Structure 1
Amino acid sequence: MQIPSLHPDPNAPYPCEFAGNSIGFLKNLVNNAMICIGDFTYYHGDAVDQFQEKNVLYHYPHCGDKLVIGRFCQIANGTQFIMNGAIHPLHGVSTFPFDLFGGEWTRLGMENFQVPNKGDTHVGNDVWFGKSALIMPGINIGNGAVIAAHSVVTKDVPAYAIVAGNPARIVRMRYSDEDIRRLQEIAWWHWPIEKITRYIPDIMQGNIDQLEQAKQQEYK
């Protein structure tokens, strides 16, 4: 008789038997060196195995920007990350990409092209992206944030903020400043998986005091 595992395998591409291939741990489905995704972060939607092609857009090697997503993030169907390759320069009279179309246009276009780059896109841990959220280039999203469905994120999002709208604005903070500080120090997402498993009830019920105590304890 096979004994069921106490926790899912972080190396399983499709960890939910009931969901088939509509839920996938992205770390195991992405093979782009410019995309780094932590354990247990999943995408739930269509064509999960094509996440890097269909959900990370304009990600060209010559731009050099990275998409970094932490652990335990939840990414709903249609969420997309726009990378720096989408940005057209604004310093000239025209934003037209002459360099794309060959011949003298390519030569002259590349000689006069100034690559706009807003830097890497960083997503913390335990971030929830609602359906069809859109993240613009160079954004930093803090731990525990919630991005509402169909939001367009054009500015950095603080840890444990809920943002919504186009452009996305803070609707409210999930916790007080003091509790956010405590949660950032607890950083449960970095605990050994056995310890996380043990404290799932406290994580789900928001027992910050208990989690704070647990952080100081050696897991046995």
Structure 2
Amino acid sequence: MDPATATKRLGEAPAIDPSASLRDTRLGRYCEVGARTKLAECVFGDYSYVANDSDIIYATLGRFCSIAAQVRINPGNHPLERVALNHFTYRSAAYGLGDDDADFFAWRRDHHVTLGHDVWIGHGAVVLPGLRIGNGAAIGAGAVVTKDVPPFAIVVGVPGRVLRFRFPPTVIAALERIAWWDWPHEVLGERLGDFRSLGAEEFCRRYDPA
């Protein structure tokens, strides 16, 4: 059987690879965590997953987020404003030089990253601290995201820039009103055919409450 097409059965309990590392992290229903991925102080909404070898810290992900392999969300910084960039100035205890710099580490925790619903982050992308990624946004492989991303934008490059939006403004507004990501599991199943076959405009005409 081709492992790329092998059927997985996800459920109420998240599927976590034995080699993954999780600390103070909450996962919703139908979530999945890939091999050797590290999560710390994160919240994953229902149906969100992260593939192998990713590192996410101090982040909240909405529902249905798709995080590819080797992604970094909220990576650590080095103190560019100091005369020395090395660990010894803030991981001082390891070198027997004094206490660790608590304020330095608190800055990263305070710059929480927030992803909306149905966000896709491609292979090897980096999302810097303190950013907000809007619903339905797509981040291209290898991009370095340095600014907030609007809903349904496609971001590529280093530094990341908005290449285009996935849909026209009227369709984006309708999708935000529909908020299909809040539909119950049973409704998703009933409407699965429409997700697969309808274009965005037709989907909005069918389900937009406005």
User: Is this a same-fold pair by TM over 0.5?
Assistant: yes
1:82 Cα deviation after fit = 2.5
Letter of the 1:99 partner, please give it. Y
Q: Which residue of 2 aligns with 1:209?
A: 205
Q: 2:60 is paired with a residue of what secondary structure?
A: strand
Mapped to 1, the partners of 2:106 and 2:187 lie a distance apart of 46
Q: 2:98 is paired with a residue of what secondary structure?
A: helix
Mapped to 1, the partners of 2:39 and 2:161 lie a distance apart of 31
Q: Is the 8 A contact 1:88 1:116 kept in 2?
A: no
Letter of the 2:11 partner, please give it. D
Mapped to 2, the partners of 1:166 and 1:81 lie a distance apart of 15
Q: Which residue of 2 aligns with 1:40?
A: 47
Cα RMSD (Å) of the superposition?
Answer: 3.2
1:126 Cα deviation after fit = 0.6
1:161 Cα deviation after fit = 0.3
Q: Does 1:122 align with 2:129?
A: no
Q: Is the 8 A contact 2:10 2:31 kept in 1?
A: no
TM superposition score normalised by structure 1: 0.69
In structure 1, list runs of 5 or more residues that go unmatched. 1-6, 15-23, 47-53, 60-65
Matches within 5 A, 1:97-136: 97=87, 98-102=89-93, 105-107=97-99, 110=101, 116-117=107-108, 119-136=111-128
Letter of the 1:136 partner, please give it. L
Aligned length in residues: 181
Matches within 5 A, 1:43-192: 43-45=50-52, 54-56=54-56, 59=57, 66-83=58-75, 86-97=76-87, 98-102=89-93, 105-107=97-99, 110=101, 116-117=107-108, 119-192=111-184
Q: Is the 8 A contact 2:60 2:115 kept in 1?
A: yes
1:192 Cα deviation after fit = 0.9
Mapped to 2, the partners of 1:119 and 1:81 lie a distance apart of 11
In structure 2, list runs of 5 or more residues that go unmatched. 1-8, 17-29
Change (3 A) 1:198 1:8: farther
Larger radius of gyration: 1
Q: Is the 8 A contact 1:44 1:76 kept in 2?
A: yes
1:195 Cα deviation after fit = 1.2
Mapped to 2, the partners of 1:111 and 1:12 lie a distance apart of 33
1:148 Cα deviation after fit = 0.6
Q: Which residue of 2 aligns with 1:13?
A: 15
Runs of 4+ in 1 over 4 A off after TM superposition: 27-33, 111-115
Structure with bigger strand share is 2
Percent identity for Structure 1 against Structure 2: 31
Change (3 A) 1:94 1:12: closer
Mapped to 1, the partners of 2:38 and 2:70 lie a distance apart of 20
Structure with bigger helix share is 1
Change (3 A) 1:119 1:12: closer
Highest RCO, 1 vs 2 (Cα 8 Å, sep ≥ 6)? 1
1:15-65 residue CA offsets vs partner (Å, 9 max, x unmatched): xxxxxxxxx82379999672100111112335xxxxxxx512xx4xxxxxx
Q: Is the 8 A contact 2:138 2:154 kept in 1?
A: yes
